[in-house]
Structure 1
Amino acid sequence: MDALIIAAGFGSRLADISASKPLTPVCGVPLIEIGVRQAMLAGVTRVIVVTGHEADMLERFLADLSQRAGIEIVPVRLTDWSTPNGHSVIAGATRCDGDYLLMMADHMFEADILARLMAEGSADRGVTLAIDRRLDNPLVDPEDATWVRTDDAGRIQAIGKTITPYDAVDCGAFLCTPDLAAAIREAIAAGKSGSLSDGMQVLADRGRAFTMDIDDAWWLDVDDPRAHALAEEMAPWHLAPTFAAMAGQD
Structure 2
Amino acid sequence: MDALIIAAGFGTRLRPVSDCKPLTPILGIPLLELGIRQSVAAGVRRVVVVTGYQADLIEAELPRLSRSVNIPVVAQRVENWSQPNGHSVIAGAAQIDGDYLLMMADHIFSSTILSNLAQQGRPDRGVTLAIDRRITGPLIDPDDATWVETGDQGCIRSIGKSISAYDAVDCGAFLATPELAAAIEAAIAAGCPGSLSDGMQRLADVGRAATMDVGDAWWIDVDDARAYDLAEIGVVSWLGDIYENRLAEAAK
Q: TM-score, normalised by structure 2?
A: 0.97
Match of 1:135?
Answer: 135
CA contact under 8 A between 1:41 and 1:242: conserved in structure 2? no
> Aligned partners of 2:85, 2:154: CA distance in 1, in Å?
24
Match of 1:156?
Answer: 156
CA offset digits 1:221-244 (Å, max 9, x no partner)? 000000001111111212223323
Aligned structure 1 segments of 4 or more residues deviating by more than 6 angstroms: none
Amino acid in the other structure paired with 2:158: A
1:150, distance to aligned residue in structure 2 (A): 0.4
CA contact under 8 A between 1:147 and 1:170: conserved in structure 2? yes
Once the two structures are superposed, the pairs formed by residues 189-208 of structure 1 within 5 Å of their partners are: 189-208=189-208
Q: How many residues align?
A: 250
Match of 2:68?
Answer: 68
Match of 2:18?
Answer: 18
Match of 2:242?
Answer: 242
1:68, distance to aligned residue in structure 2 (A): 2.3
Q: Does 1:84 align with 2:84?
A: yes
Structure 1 SS opposite 2:86: helix
Unaligned runs of at least 5 residues, structure 1? none
Amino acid in the other structure paired with 1:55: A
Q: Does 1:44 align with 2:77?
A: no
Structure 1 SS opposite 2:154: coil
1:18, distance to aligned residue in structure 2 (A): 1.5
Pairwise CA RMSD:
1.0
CA offset digits 1:15-45 (Å, max 9, x no partner)? 1221111001111111000000011111111
CA contact under 8 A between 1:109 and 1:239: conserved in structure 2? no
Unaligned runs of at least 5 residues, structure 2? none
Q: TM-score, normalised by structure 1?
A: 0.98
> Aligned partners of 1:5, 1:105: CA distance in 2, in Å?
6
Amino acid in the other structure paired with 2:92: G
> Aligned partners of 1:23, 1:234: CA distance in 2, in Å?
18
1:249, distance to aligned residue in structure 2 (A): 5.2
CA offset digits 1:37-82 (Å, max 9, x no partner)? 0111111110000000000010001122112221100100112110
Identity of aligned residues (%): 61
